[in-house]
Amino acid sequence: DRTPSATLATSVRVMLPAVASPRQPILTRSSTVEGKSGLRKPRSCSLLLLISVLTNVVLAVGLVVLATRSRSSPAALPLSPCASSIDSKVVLPVASELIRCANNSLAAGCDGWSPTPSQWDVEFDFGRHGTVLMRAHRAWQPVYAERFWELSTNGYYIGTPLYRFNYRDPSTRFIVEFGVSLLPGVQRAWDDHRSVERATTSSASNTRGTVAFALDAVNCGETEGAADPCAPHRPACSAGDYCAYGGSTQIYVNLADNTHLDPRGFSPIAEVLGDGLAVLERIGERIGNLYGEVTELCPSQEELAALSSEGSLGNPYCILRNGTKQGVDPARLLEPDAEAYIEQKFAEIPRVRAVTVSNVHP
């Protein structure tokens, strides 16, 4: 598992300072937006993409000209037309494009805008639930900051659900996690080909309001006939129980001070600004007490037999009703029917409706 133990916009909007000269992003507003029963892509995505690239080249030159006149007015670039829609208000990235870029990050159009800036803001729009603004810092942890920049600018996070909410009340809170794509084949492609297979360190700590990537983990200690599995992750990981590594797309927000995660390799790359934490905790009051922890981090069915039919199962974030764990099963998010699974069983879970990147500093 990858874990540390209200008008809707229709695309990624990238607000760039006038001094920027960005490269063309992969994905954005679709020229065809339909309801759930009739999804389709633009007829000639390649041609439209070429036209969009040429258009953005002209606009990028214009931005440089604007830089001599004003440094205070950001300009919004139109993005490419190769996107599809889950409903009439939200445009998703194209699965085939995200899979292509997972398989070959150096392919044309797959590396976002290079180089990764030193600092930028990302606003996640959760529709009627509100927005959460984050500020990313490349210097905190360059490897994962670069990945966050890539994912934020290519539309990856649009449509992803807040599938793990560890919040019961102001005195019982841990993290909220999101970033799993429900588009068929996309998450597996990024997990298989783009995971960072080493532990990392950050100049920031896992304090309340910081943001880091969710990771895989390996238990430490010598096993019979084998060396310590954590040895390859030293000295970035200094913990004696487990080391975390292998982040790909999922991120979490610390809802409390979780500095015990620091020595295990969880490396913050951003911070929540303004009332973003208040927005998340308002959501958590409902979602955290309705669904709670993901099922794989709660007691097994055998263990459930010894517990009452109601309650928190020892783990304060696990919710049990009528003998059934209420949380999301992360394995189901990798199945072809992931979209239907979330929509039918977890209808109240908010999802990212739009992403805005702004205040980009070279």
Task: Give pLDDT, residue 313.
Answer: 61
What is the mean predicted confidence (pLDDT) over 208-222?
93
For residue 316, name the pLDDT band (cuts at 50, 70, 90): very high
**Of residues 250, 323, 329, the one with CA closest to residue 295:** 329
What is the mean predicted confidence (pLDDT) over 237-258?
96
Which of the residue ranges 21-25, 304-308, 332-336 would you say has the lowest mean pLDDT? 21-25
For residue 321, name the pLDDT band (cuts at 50, 70, 90): confident
**Tens of pLDDT, residues 149-159:** 999 988 899 99
Task: Give pLDDT, residue 157.
Answer: 96
**Tens of pLDDT, residues 176-209:** 999 999 999 999 999 999 999 889 999 999 999 9
Sign, Cα dihedral of 239, 240, 242, 245: positive
**Residues for the chain: how many in total?**
362
Q: Write out the two tokens for 243.
A: 């080391």
Sheet strands side by side (includes 320-321): 310-311, 320-321, 324-325
Nearest-10 Cα torsion for 70, 73, 74, 78: -100
Asked if 157 and 352 touch (Cβ cutoff 8 Å), the reply is yes
**Tens of pLDDT, residues 120-135:** 999 999 999 999 999 9
**Looking at the whole model, is its pTM more than 0.85?**
no
Give residues with Cβ within 8 angstroms of 38, minimum separation 6.
none
Max CA separation in the chain (angstroms): 71
What is the mean predicted confidence (pLDDT) over 239-256?
96
Question: What's phi and psi for 61, nearest 5 deg?
Answer: -60, -40
Tell me the H-state helices in the chain: 45-67, 95-103, 142-153, 186-193, 276-290, 301-304, 338-345
- The C-alpha atoms of residue 317 and residue 200 are separated, in whole angstroms, by 28
**Tens of pLDDT, residues 104-125:** 887 877 766 668 999 999 999 9
Paired with 243 in beta bridges are 218
For residue 12, name the pLDDT band (cuts at 50, 70, 90): low
For residue 227, name the pLDDT band (cuts at 50, 70, 90): confident
Q: How does the average pLDDT of the chain come out, rounded?
A: 77
* pLDDT beyond 50 at 22: no
For residue 40, name the pLDDT band (cuts at 50, 70, 90): very low
Task: Give pLDDT, residue 301.
Answer: 74
Task: Give pLDDT, residue 35.
Answer: 25
Residue with more model confidence, 76 or 356: 356
Which of the residue ranges 71-80, 208-217, 264-273 would you say has the lowest mean pLDDT? 71-80
* pLDDT beyond 60 at 25: no
Give residues with Cβ within 8 angstroms of 48, minimum separation 6.
31, 42, 80, 81, 82
CATH 2.40.100.10 residue window(s) in the chain:
88-291+335-359
- CATH architecture of the domain with range 88-291+335-359: Beta Barrel (2.40)
Task: Give pLDDT, residue 205.
Answer: 98
3-state SS, residue 208: coil
Q: For residue 164, what is the enclosing H or E element?
A: strand 164-169
Which of the residue ranges 155-159, 219-223, 245-249, 306-310 would you say has the lowest mean pLDDT? 306-310
